[in-house]
Structure 1
Amino acid sequence: MSIQSVINREIFAPSDQKLLVAIEAKRRNKRKLPFLAAGREGKYKTFICLSATNKPPVQLFITKVKQFEGSPRLIKRSQWNVDQLRQVNGVNPNRDCPEFDLVFDRSLDQWMAASDAEKCMFIQVLYHACQNYWMAKDVQANPGEAGRDPQKPAGPESRKGPAVPRTNFINCQSKLMEDACTMNMVIYRCKIFLNRMKSTMLPPPRPRPAGQAKSGAKSAGVKSRTSSPARPPRGSMKKAVRRASQALGERGDRLWRAEDKTAHMMDSARLFSNTAHKVRTRTV
C-alpha cells in the first residue's frame, strides 16, 4: 500500500475528506526553538498534503503530517485553509527544482520536496484545485457571473458580493499551470515511483564517527590526521583464521566419532534382532 493511501485512510477519511496529493518534504531553513530540548522527538518524515471535503460546500486544506522514525503511526500537526494561502512561490520558473515556498496569512514556510517531480505534481494539483475552488466561491458570491473566466478579475461595478481572496502563484513553470496536461501528471508519478524505489534499494548512509568532528584546521585547508576506522592487524586475522580452522577440525572429529558410535549401535541392534529371532524359532 502506498504512503498516500495510508495517509488518506488514517488522517483524512475519518474527517470525511479525500486526499488529493501528498508529497514528502523538509524545511530549507529549520526553525530554532531554544526552549525545547534538541532532538527530543527524534527523526521524522514530513508530508505536505492537499485535501478536500467530500460534502459541499467544498473546502480545501493544506495539512502537515509527520511520521516518526521507527513508528508506523502518522500524526497530523498543522492545517491551513486555502483561503489563508496567499502565495505559492515555485522559486525557479525556468527549470524543475525541489524548492518551493508557501506564504500564509501569518507564516512563511520554505520547503524542499524529496524530488523535483513531487514538487511539480504538488503545484500542478494545487493550482487546478484552487482554480475550481475560486470559481465556486465566485459563483456563490456573484451568481450572475457564473460564466466569467476566473483568471480575469471583474470590475468593481460588476461585482456584487465581497471580494474573494486569491492565491498568487509566482515563479511557477507554465507547464504546471495553464499549459498543464494529464501526461505531465503521469510522468511525475512515474518519476516519483522510480525515485522511491531507488531510495529503498540504496543502503542508508553510514554515520560519521564522533572523533571526526569539524575543526578550524579543516576549514583552513589543513588535512585531518584522523584515520579511518582501524582495521585489525594481519597477525590477529591469521590467529582468527587458525582458530576457526581448528574449531572446524575438532567439530569434524566429533562428527566422525558420533558416526562410528551410530554404526556400532546399528550392528549391535541387528545382532540382537537376529538372536531374538533364532530363540523364538527354537521355542516354537
Structure 2
Amino acid sequence: MNIQSAINREVFAPRDERMLVAVEVKRRKRKRIPFLPTGGKGEYVTYICLSVTNKRPAQLLITKVKRFQGSTPFTSRSQWTVEQLRQVNGINPNQDCPEFDLVFDNALDQWVASSAPEKCIFIQIMYHACQTYWDGKEGHHGGLVRPVGDQQKGQMVQEGQGSPRSPTGRPGVQARRKSTVVLKPRKPEFVNCHSKLTGDASSVNLIVNRCKVFFNRMKKAMVLKRSRPHTVAGPSGQCPQGGSVGSVVHKASQALHERGERLGRAEEKTVDLMQKAQQFADTAHKLSLKYSH
C-alpha cells in the first residue's frame, strides 16, 4: 500500500471523505517560536491533501497531515475549506520548480514539495477540482447572498438607489428592512502557474508528471540500494545482519571458531573409535590362536 492510500484509509475514510491528491512538503521558512520549550515530538513528515466529502452537497477541503518519526498512524493537524483559499502561487510560471504558496483567509503557507513533478500533479488536480466545485456551486445556488453594510447603503443612496422615504421624511418600511445584495462567490486565484497545469492539455501533462514521479522514486530506490554496505555471507550461505565491517569480521571469526571446535570433537571421537577397533582386533587374534591348536 502506498502513502496516499494509507492516508486516505486512516484519515479521510473514517470522516466520510475521499482524498483526491496528496503531496509531501517542507516549509521554505521554518516558524521559530523562541518562548516554547524545546524537545517536542521530534521529526515529522508533512503532507498537504485535497479531499472531497461524500455527502451532498460535496465540500472541497485542504488538510495538513503529519506523521511523526517512529509513529505509524497519520495525524490531521489543520483543515481549510476551499472558500477560505484565496490564492495558489506556483512561484515560477516558466520553469518547473518544487516551491509553491497557499494563501488562506488567516494563513500563508510557503512550501517546498519533494519534487517538481509532484507539485505539478498537486496543482493540476487542485485547479480542476476547484473549477468543477465552483461551477457546480454556481449552478445550484446562483451566487451568495450577503447583507449590505452601512457604507454600501450610503453609496446606494448617493447613486439614487436608496429606498423611498415617507411623506414625513423618515425612511419607509422597506428602508428599515435589512438590505441584501447577491454576490458571486470568490474563486481562488492560480498565479505564476505554467499554462500546462491549467490548460486544455493538462490531462496529458498529468500523465507525463506521474511518469516522472514514478521514475524519480525508482531512481531513489536504486541509489539507496547501492549506498547500503555489502555484507559477507556466513558459512550457512546467509548474510549477517550487522552493517559494519567490524561486526561482519567478528561474526565470521566466531563461526570459524565454532566450526573448529566441532572438528576437534569429531577428531577425538575418531581416535577413540580407532583405539577400540584396535583392541577388538587384538582380542580376536588371541582367540583365534587359542582355538586353532
TM-score by length of structure 2 reads 0.67
Mapping of 1:65-214 within 5 angstroms? 65-142=65-142, 161-203=182-224
Q: Could you tell me which amino acid in structure 2 is paired with residue 109 of structure 1? A: D
Whichever residue aligns with residue 259 of structure 1, its letter is: A
- The amino acid of 1:114's aligned partner reads S
User: Matched residue of 1:10: which SS?
Assistant: helix
Q: How far apart are the structure 2 equivalents of 1:23 and 1:112? A: 10
Separation (CA, whole Å) in 2 of partners of 1:42 and 1:16: 30
Tell me the residue number matched to 1:257.
Answer: 264
Distance 1:129 1:172 in 2: 16
Residue 226 of structure 1 is matched in structure 2 by none
Bigger Cα Rg = 2
> Please, which runs of 5 or more residues in structure 1 have no aligned partner?
144-159, 207-236, 276-284
- Residue type of the partner of 2:8? N
Cα distance between partner residues in 1 of 2:107 and 2:272: 85
Deviation of residue 199 (structure 1)?
3.2
**Which whole-Å CA distance do the structure 2 matches of 1:41 and 1:251 have between them?**
46
1:15 alignment partner in structure 2: 15
TM superposition shift of 1:165: 1.8
Residues 19 and 271 of structure 1: CA distance in aligned 2, closer, same or farther (over 3 Å): farther
Q: Which amino acid aligns with 2:22?
A: A
Change (3 A) 1:249 1:83: closer
Instruction: Calculate the TM-score normalised by the size of structure 1.
Output: 0.69
- Give the Å deviation of 1:112: 0.5
Q: 1:136 to 1:249 in 2, by over 3 A?
A: closer
Which residue identity does 1:192 align to in structure 2?
V
Distance (whole Å) between structure 2 residues aligned to residue 250 and residue 128 of structure 1: 68
Compute the displacement of 1:17 (Å). Answer: 0.6
Q: How many Å separate the matches in 2 of 1:273 and 1:189? A: 82
In the TM superposition, what is the alpha-carbon distance from 1:39 to its structure 2 partner?
Answer: 4.5
User: Please, what is the CA RMSD of the aligned residues?
Assistant: 3.5
Counterpart AA for 1:264: V
Q: Structure 2 counterpart of 1:62, which letter?
A: I
Q: Map residues 214-225 of structure 1 onto 2, 5 A cutoff.
A: none
Instruction: Measure how far apart 1:270 and its partner are.
Output: 7.2
Deviations 1:218-251 (A, max 9, x none): xxxxxxxxxxxxxxxxxxx9xxx9x999999977
